[in-house]
Structure 1
Amino acid sequence: MSFVIDAAARIGMVYLRVSNMERSLAFYREVIGLRVLSQGEGTAELGVQDSSAPLLHLREIPHAVPRPRRSGAGLYHYALLVPDRKSLGLALRNLIASGIHIGQADHFVSEALYIADPDNNGIEIYRDRPREEWERDEKGHYVMGLDPIDWEGLLAEAGDTPWSGLPVGTTVGHIHLHVSELPTAEHFYNDVLGFELVAQMADSALFIAAGGYHHHIGLNVWAGIGAELTPENAPGLDYFEIVLPTEVAQMALFSRLQAASVPLQTNRGTVIVRDPSGIEIHLIVQSQAPH
């Protein structure tokens, strides 16, 4: 692959459709530990305590048609990366207290908890192990597993510290998408946008990243090969941001997209594009993103 995306590229805000704003806000405050930073007519932006940078944008859609998980292309989960293991332990303790169903996995590079919001939008809360502990296989791919998490160890890390929500330093670490098929998705994200393939799960999932991360984007066909995009009248993913460090890095992607004849729009410095499954992506520059 000749073109590589800027090493500082990262995932920015995630924009979701929800069916009941009041219910969603209660969930995100009490279960996840985010706080409302701003609220408008049928919309809200959420972030962490003592920070003005939103991580999540919610949009209430009228007469929403509920859909089960894995029923179309779009969001599998978005992932909130906490800064340390104690923060993950505190989040786990609060999730247990809430009574919500919790999935979990030790991926070797990270420890992860999996839940879903009231509209079945998937959420991961995770912490990374130090990069020097990440291992690669003979192909140069990261070795990622599905071992059981050290549940008791995480709770011991939390100790008796009061829970006050997700801490400063929490970011959207990655996003994982259901796509219609892998070959076209791989071509778009790797060959056009320039993300690097860092791991693969048989013929059903790919993990891609910038700057040597274990993955910024997951791509899978677990909703079925040929799955259609989740419709606008159902809860799900509106779009997500890829944040570039400079306008030069953004223009490099703009040129790549044009050269590949990918339809795109621009709006106030944002490049708007859809991947082959129809998932909308906004390419923005760091200076546009909230700090």
Structure 2
Amino acid sequence: MSGFHQKPNTYVSELTLKVQDLKRSIDFYQSIVGFQVLEETSTKVRFTADGTRAILTIEQPEDILPKQERTTGLYHFAILLPSRKELGKFIQHLAQMAFQIQGAANHEISEAIYFADPDGNGIEVYSDTPSSTWRWQNGLIEAENKSLDFMEVVAEGKGETWTGLSPETILGHIHLHVADMDKTEEFYCRGLGFEVVIRMANHALFFSTGNYHHHIGTNIWNGLGAPKPLDNSVGLTHFTIIFPDEETRIQVAANIQKLGYEVTNFTTTYPSGNKIELGV
């Protein structure tokens, strides 16, 4: 596991999505993404990369509606591979499956590809560049949006056969559509204890702990004041943030309440409708 995703850092560890067709999504997340099924019921499936730790849960409510556009909620969740070699093997796998991606980039801090599941839930698969090469200025990290050199990355895979996600794969970060930047910064910094590490003018903020390039991304690309999606529409149900110890979790819950947000059984909901579980 990445050192940025363990104590003493705070990070995102798991998320739950609503989908329209559970069987269709199971096939996608196994055959295309490479997850293993950890637990399965008639309405819910938990996926893992290492056979022990859940990364993604999908569920199919009875009255599920298609994904609503121009709302708050999930922009994408990001699967972090342990090496550039694994990213190369994954890209080669997608090519062999003739699977169409939506985009790719070399951000200097990471190399990534982007696509969506059958319901339109955004997915990023990426590997980090060495943190020693990341450039910081005035407490903010410098990220680029260069073209990804597919041939060079695939060559890192050395022609090895892809057999699914590496057991070292984790949830690297989550990126959310929100309705308000000022409230978002207050909530994630003063409430949850993250630090701003990337500012994109007045339309996107990225947060982390421990000098990671980001554990959480947020944007208003669906519009300032974008509405919440319906509770029964395809999309994000909730995600889990892991704190280093119980003392920190209790303090964070108190901080959130001081800002005027409710916390029930260590679960809170940011005004944009993004539900968050506070874990240890």
How high is the TM-score relative to the length of structure 2? 0.94
Given that residues 78 and 174 in structure 1 are in contact (C-alpha distance below 8 angstroms), is that contact kept between their aligned partners in structure 2? yes
Structure 2 match to 1:165: 164
Following the alignment from structure 1 to structure 2, what is the Cα–Cα distance between the partners of residues 203 and 264? 29
* Mapped pair 1:281 → 2:276: yes
Structure 2 match to 1:134: 134
Structure 1 match to 2:243: 244
**1:186 match: secondary structure:** helix
CA RMSD of aligned residues (A): 1.3
**1:90 match: secondary structure:** helix
Following the alignment from structure 1 to structure 2, what is the Cα–Cα distance between the partners of residues 155 and 167? 16
2:12 partner letter = I
Structure 1 match to 2:10: 9
1:53 partner letter = R
Structure 2 match to 1:115: 115
Structure 1 match to 2:47: 46
1:279 partner letter = N
Deviation at 1:63, TM superposition (A): 4.1
Identity %: 36
Following the alignment from structure 1 to structure 2, what is the Cα–Cα distance between the partners of residues 100 and 205? 29
Following the alignment from structure 1 to structure 2, what is the Cα–Cα distance between the partners of residues 100 and 179? 30
Structure 2 match to 1:214: 213
Given that residues 240 and 280 in structure 1 are in contact (C-alpha distance below 8 angstroms), is that contact kept between their aligned partners in structure 2? yes
How high is the TM-score relative to the length of structure 1? 0.91
Given that residues 100 and 115 in structure 1 are in contact (C-alpha distance below 8 angstroms), is that contact kept between their aligned partners in structure 2? no
1:135 partner letter = R
Query: For structure 1, which runs of at least 5 residues remain unmatched after alignment?
Result: 1-5, 286-291
Deviation at 1:130, TM superposition (A): 1.1
In the TM superposition, 1:1-291 aligns within 5 A as 7-48=8-49, 50-67=50-67, 70-102=69-101, 103-137=103-137, 139-266=138-265, 271-285=266-280
Following the alignment from structure 1 to structure 2, what is the Cα–Cα distance between the partners of residues 163 and 59? 27
Given that residues 190 and 255 in structure 2 are in contact (C-alpha distance below 8 angstroms), is that contact kept between their aligned partners in structure 1? no
**2:54 match: secondary structure:** coil
Following the alignment from structure 1 to structure 2, what is the Cα–Cα distance between the partners of residues 42 and 272? 22
**1:273 match: secondary structure:** strand
Query: For structure 2, which runs of at least 5 residues remain unmatched after alignment?
Result: 1-6
**2:267 match: secondary structure:** strand
Aligned length: 273
Following the alignment from structure 2 to structure 1, what is the Cα–Cα distance between the partners of residues 76 and 255? 27
Deviation at 1:99, TM superposition (A): 2.5
Following the alignment from structure 2 to structure 1, what is the Cα–Cα distance between the partners of residues 51 and 66? 33
Greater mean alpha carbon deviation, residues 96-105 or residues 146-155: 96-105
